[in-house]
């Protein structure tokens, strides 16, 4: 399957390719996508905000052919 991924904000500094198409095996999750993208372990352990087809999702979401994914830095407040 093929998905389109866009890495937004400060997360971009951790990957070589911040936007593009990725060919992945069926039933790949967002969490599994982080490995081939080259995210370091310390970043993969963070609660990265994920958006699939303009809806917030979790890292365990299974991707489908044609999905549009955005990965965002976790937001905190006080």
Q: pLDDT by residue (tens digit) across 17-54?
A: 999 999 999 999 999 999 999 999 999 888 899 999 99
Q: What b/e sequence results for 12-42 when a residue is b if at least 16 CB atoms lie within 10 Å of its CB, and e otherwise?
A: eebbeebeeebebeeebbbeebbeebebeee
| Token digits of residue 50 | 């994920």
pLDDT of residue 62 exceeding 90? yes
| Percentage, residues of the chain above pLDDT 90 | 85
The pLDDT of residue 68: 98
The helix/strand/coil state of 51 is: strand
Say whether pTM exceeds 0.85: yes
Domain ranges of the chain: 2-72
The pLDDT of residue 65: 98
Fold classification of 2-72 is: Ubiquitin-like (UB roll) (3.10.20)
Distance, in Å, from the CA atom of 22 to the CA atom of 77, rounded to the nearest integer, reads 33
């Amino acid at each position: 399957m093929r998905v389109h991924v866009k890495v937004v904000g400060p997360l971009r500094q951790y990957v070589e390719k911040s936007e593009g198409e990725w060919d992945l095996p069926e039933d790949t999750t967002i969490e599994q996508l982080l490995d081939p993208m080259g995210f370091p372990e310390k970043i993969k352990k963070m609660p990265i905000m994920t958006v699939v087809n303009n809806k917030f999702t979790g890292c365990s979401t299974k991707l489908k052919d044609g999905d549009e994914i955005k990965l965002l830095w976790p937001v905190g407040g006080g």
